Structure 1
Amino acid sequence: MADLYPFTEAYLKGPQSTQFLTRTYAPESPFALIVFVHGFIDHVARYTEFHGQISKNGIAIFTYDQRGFGRTAVDETGKEKKDTGNRGYAKTSWPEQLEDLDWMVKHAHGKFPDLPLFLMGASMGGGLCLAFNTRGKATPPSAEAVALVSGVIPLSPLIHQTHPLGSVQKWLVRKMSRLMPYATFPTRVPIEHLTHDSAMWEANKSDHLSQYTGGLRGVSDMLDGGDSILARDYKNWPGDRPLIIFHGTEDEVTDPKASQEFFNRVSTKDKRIVLLEGARHEPFHEIVPEGVIGRMVNEITEWVKARAKPSDARL
């Protein structure tokens, strides 16, 4: 796969001296840069083909395994690392994840200073990308990092769950997260809810880097964060910053209706929502509707190209 879609990997020391696994796709003469944020119980190696196809169209991609996930948290066998700054699998929080994303945006801009930078994220990562742009004066992220973003591309963003926890359950998770923030518990997303592609189901079953474990603080934060985005934070969207949302209409994990509602409320004039008929939670791994991955790659490429003006932001 690396021969077909070339990339480089490196461990970088980020916030809290955490060693983050990073991956860079650097095509010859790129016209734009995407910083990509993966989802919950997820990691960047699951996106090789999708990212590789986008990069072949002339867009550089910088991505990383988030704090508490993938090879930032565990080794290839799934065993937790004991690095400085690494608490273990799923032991994270939104303030930390937003601080990490702030650092990654600045780092990626430093690597490609002349390219316009776009944020793209899937599921929890899509929610983080929306939060990054709607925090207003709250930090993190820093105003400097937010100013570097030329547009936002959420894929099935976690704003609301399709089948949400009850109010009492949610209150209990929130309460327990304050008492035991890094306590973990088993989580389960039925693999058939991710995609119609049974080959992806089998790949997920043997993936040591995707562990069905949640941390109390991380789960509480991402659910509360989604609520906040839709209830009030959308008002902080930076001017007419471009936005394009992709969401499958048969997503049983994150609610496409919440994406539609955010789209309706956010004030930017340069906005578009693409509802993918019949697609489930991971349209970038889908076979329904036919050709959906190629369609997304082409639409993202053309959307970015139309907004790819040379970066004048400097840190």
Structure 2
Amino acid sequence: MFTYAAALVFLVFCVRVVLDPRRFSNAVLLGITVVLASVSAFVRPERPPVSLRTTALAACALLVLSALALAFLLMANGVKMVRREGSRPGNLLTLLTGLAVLGFLTLLGTAAVGRSPALVRVAAFATPPVGYVSFLFLCFLGYALLYGRLPMRRDVDFVVVLGCGLVGGSRVGRLLANRLDRARRLYEAQAARGNPPLLVTSGGQGGDEELPEADAMAAHLVAAGIPEDRILREDRSRSTEENLLFSKRIMQEVKPEYRCLVVTNNFHVFRAALTARRTGVRGQVVGAPTARYFWPGATIREFVAVFLHYAKTNLGICLALGLLGLVALR
């Protein structure tokens, strides 16, 4: 039964990806498919109860060991982030996440061994929401990796590059340079086919910046050999949503029935795609490389942003699951 259910959910997933890959529900469907397929691989009528019990215990042990390994890897990455990037709140995210995972495992172990009624109730309340958030995160991570590898249109009218702040108030940093280099390669590949796109550099001027990000980005592209008359500047935006909304207006003025590619860093691709769909931008999102040590914290930050975008729904589900955990304890 689980095998058929997994096949059906996967079929729905494939259809929805073809219709529009920029949906978070696609990530959830992919996660449900994996869960159903995993259950079907272990739960079979011909297996004796003892074998099923042994398999379940082994799976639980593997899950705990994996969570422990993840906690220590996250904490090690957090220490590296602080050493290389400083102790700003965003750079502490992997360290704090690792500590949270370790703290939750400690709570479960203490509740199981100590049998304290208060700790058991706390664990019963916390476990279902933690499971829900973990499931959503794995869905987000898995589909984000898949989305970044989906084939995109070869020829588009525009390539939009999202800004991400200037170093020292005036210089293009490594993250932004990677985005611009990816945009340049897309431009050159299409220009070689005789149909060069227009490049849109998108980014306003922050309070600590000497010029709009769009201007610094355009100068970087011109220095890399892109003709200045192939660059349009969107210099008012302060967020990803504004990047896309304001760039959309520019593209519609030039060509109402446009198609575009949006360039950002790989950790930001899926959230940018969700935002592009929400703002009505006609195009997909592609990623540029990111330093490996920077990727885990940035990915967690992206997931938190998506989770909080639907805060009322997600927090309501977490509360309901926590209460169900307490009810099941009785």
Provide the TM-score with structure 1 as the length reference: 0.30
Q: Which has the higher strand share?
A: 1
Structure with bigger gyration radius = 2
